[in-house]
Amino acid sequence: MKGLLTLAIRLIAPLAALACHASADQAAAPPDRPLLWKIESESLQKPSYLFGTIHLATPRIARLHPAAERAFAQADAVFTEIPLDAKTQLGAAALMMRDDGSKLSQSIGEDTMAKLDAALKGINPAFTAELFEPMKTWAVATAVVMLPHQLKGGKSLDQLLWQRATEEDKPASGLEQVKDQLAAFEGGLSEAEQSIFLRATLENLDQGAAMLDEIIAAYETGDEKTIGDLMVRSIRDFGVNEQERAIGTRLLKRLLTDRDVTMAATIDGHLEKQPGKSHFFAVGAAHLIGDTSIRKHLETKGYRITRITE
């Protein structure tokens, strides 16, 4: 079942970024190699860039590699997965709350509620499951994963890029809207399936934390192969029964594979509309690795995609 937790860590895009507000440690060294690719074609007058992020805050992740810094500096416009402005933050918070008068405990039952309470107290003794009663079940599953990292402070890389673009008067936009991401849960999982997702997440927090450490280490070294291997492991280890594996497969498709198609189409549209401008597209690294990634879709459309490591 740890694959369910891995999905929550890797694929709940930058919703976690909306909650991070402290400053990063600027003394840390940047990643050894960036997950950065140049986009070129005969129709483009300037190159654009794909940049793989990780939606967490650590000192090294928060620093751009010099190659990524150069690409960002020359960009005329910056794109993240979703808009990361204050209005979007408020809207995202509202979409995670129940609007039918029900409570979390009514959906997940006493046993899972007790597991949630224990997990929260392990993060901070002041936290209780009762605090999460107004939230939708899937939102609780993602929140409990990200909470320990949010409590450490520090803006995620996605948030920092958005902030810099705003400060430097670069146009900043999202490739999709929050509702597009949440649709994977809102329309993709029944309430009963969301409860299974939450229970599996709670039962495997320790294993998921270990895998998260591996993902962070691979990102900080720019190890594309290891990140890809971890993705394969998360699918291979998904669930312990047919029902859980079916939920995992559906989530993976809706959160990653399907969105890769739509985001690649959106990127293609921006490039076609403004061939004389350089665009910096920052998305979760998982969206740029593998045979169904954004990179592959853009290559199919005729773009030359070249990795830049130095």
Which residues constitute the domain of residue 252?
2-308
Specify the pLDDT at position 262. 96
**CB of 181 closer than 8 Å to CB of 97:** no
Task: Compute the distance between CA of residue 143 and CA of residue 127 in angstroms, rounded to an integer.
Answer: 13
Beta bridge partners of 283: 52
Average pLDDT over the chain, rounded to whole? 86
The residue-averaged pLDDT of 87-108 equals 91
Identify which has the larger pLDDT, 113 or 237: 113
Alpha helices by DSSP H, listed for 12-99, are: 66-74, 86-95
**Degrees, nearest 5: CA angle 66-32-16:** 85
Specify the pLDDT at position 182. 85
> 3-class DSSP state for residue 307?
strand
Specify the pLDDT at position 268. 98
Tokens of 209: 């934390």
Identify which has the larger pLDDT, 50 or 56: 50
Identify which has the larger pLDDT, 212 or 273: 273
Number of domains into which the chain is organized:
1
Q: What percent of the chain has pLDDT over 90?
A: 57
Identify which has the larger pLDDT, 242 or 258: 258
User: Is pLDDT of 22 > 50?
Assistant: no
The model's pLDDT over 152-208, given as tens digits with 9 standing for 90+, comes to: 777 889 999 999 999 999 999 999 998 888 888 887 789 999 999 899 889 888 877
pTM reported for the whole predicted model: 0.89
